[in-house]
């Protein structure tokens, strides 16, 4: 898997794998630790977590158990809206660093456009200049909030994490993001209620035609 991994180049010159491992609702601390370790063992190198998920410490334990070097892993985590604002974000980043057992975070996202997220962005820009945050990003920012932030920031977001899948294609948003060199990062790529997408006749027929799983068809759609 690792040898064939596709990558996306970000607007700050860094890159991320096109497929990552999300840790939302991965279970207990022990289950999350095992899941992360397993994911890394089969070739995943992008891990997504968040303060809101309450599992940053378990993710760190999974990384440690895997034996994979920290420098070979891209970690994204997020600032929850209750930590919006300059001072709160500074404390939230410090907390995430401690829980993730790392001295830097590859991409820090603003989880939602709520509260004083401009204050959060100012704090994140300072930490970016200090190389504590290697990349800044957004989550759940749609056209109006995204374009507003793009015209009022010093450091451009490298990614915007949004719900995106064949049933919710976000074409106008993705077109805007491409224009401004912001990479789309899909959450719930198989939809939130997963079973109906696997029962869709087009998905099933394509999987049969190409001799691959329905999951692979959907992931190929995302990559292309």
Model pLDDT, residue 6: 87
Asked if 96 contacts 48 with a C-beta cutoff of 8 angstroms, the reply is: no
pLDDT in tens, 90-141: 999 999 999 999 999 999 999 999 999 999 999 999 999 999 999 999 999 9
Give per-residue pLDDT as tens, 166-183.
Answer: 999 999 999 999 999 999
Share of the chain above pLDDT 70, in %: 97
Q: Is 53 a catalytic residue?
A: yes
Percent share of the chain, pLDDT over 90: 95
> Band of the pLDDT at 5, cuts 50, 70, 90?
low
- Is residue 193 predicted with pLDDT exceeding 90? no
- Eight-class DSSP state of 182: -
**In the prediction, which pLDDT does 28 show?**
96
Which of the four pLDDT bands, split at 50, 70 and 90, describes residue 192? confident
Is the pLDDT at 198 greater than 60? The verdict is: yes
- Read off the pLDDT of each residue in 133-158 and give the average, rounded to a whole number: 97
Q: From the DSSP assignment, how many helices (H) and strands (E) are in the chain?
A: 9, 9
Give the total residue count for the chain.
224
Alpha helices in the chain (DSSP H): 29-41, 56-66, 86-99, 117-129, 143-150, 171-179, 195-199, 201-210, 214-223
Which DSSP helix (H) or strand (E) runs through 186? strand 183-187
Chain segment 32-81, per-residue pLDDT in tens: 999 999 999 999 999 999 999 999 999 999 999 999 999 999 999 999 99
> Do the beta carbons of residue 192 and residue 165 sit within 8 Å?
no
Which residue is catalytic, options 21, 53, 117, 128?
53
Q: What is the pTM of this model?
A: 0.93
pLDDT exceeds 70 at position 194: no
What's the pLDDT at 2? 41
């Amino acid at each position: 898997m690792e040898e064939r991994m596709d990558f996306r180049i970000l607007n700050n010159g860094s890159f991320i794998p096109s497929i990552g491992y999300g840790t939302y609702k991965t279970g207990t601390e022990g289950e999350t630790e095992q899941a992360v370790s397993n994911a890394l063992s089969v070739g995943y190198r992008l891990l997504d977590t968040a303060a809101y998920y309450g599992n940053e410490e378990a993710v760190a334990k999974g990384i440690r158990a895997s034996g994979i070097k920290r420098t070979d892993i891209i970690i994204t985590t997020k600032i929850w809206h209750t930590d919006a604002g300059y001072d709160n974000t500074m404390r939230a980043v410090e907390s995430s660093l401690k829980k993730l057992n790392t001295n830097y975070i590859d991409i820090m996202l603003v989880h939602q456009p709520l509260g004083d997220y401009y204050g959060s962005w100012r704090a994140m820009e300072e930490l970016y200049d200090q190389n504590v945050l290697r990349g800044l990003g957004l989550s759940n920012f749609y056209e109006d909030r995204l374009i507003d932030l793009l015209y009022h920031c010093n450091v451009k977001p490298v990614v915007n994490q949004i719900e995106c899948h064949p049933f919710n294609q976000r074409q106008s948003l993705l077109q805007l993001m491409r224009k401004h060199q912001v990479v789309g990062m899909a959450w719930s790529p198989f939809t939130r209620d997963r079973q109906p997408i696997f029962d869709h006749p087009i998905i099933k027929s394509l999987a049969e035609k190409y001799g691959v799983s329905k999951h692979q068809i959907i992931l190929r759609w995302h990559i292309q």
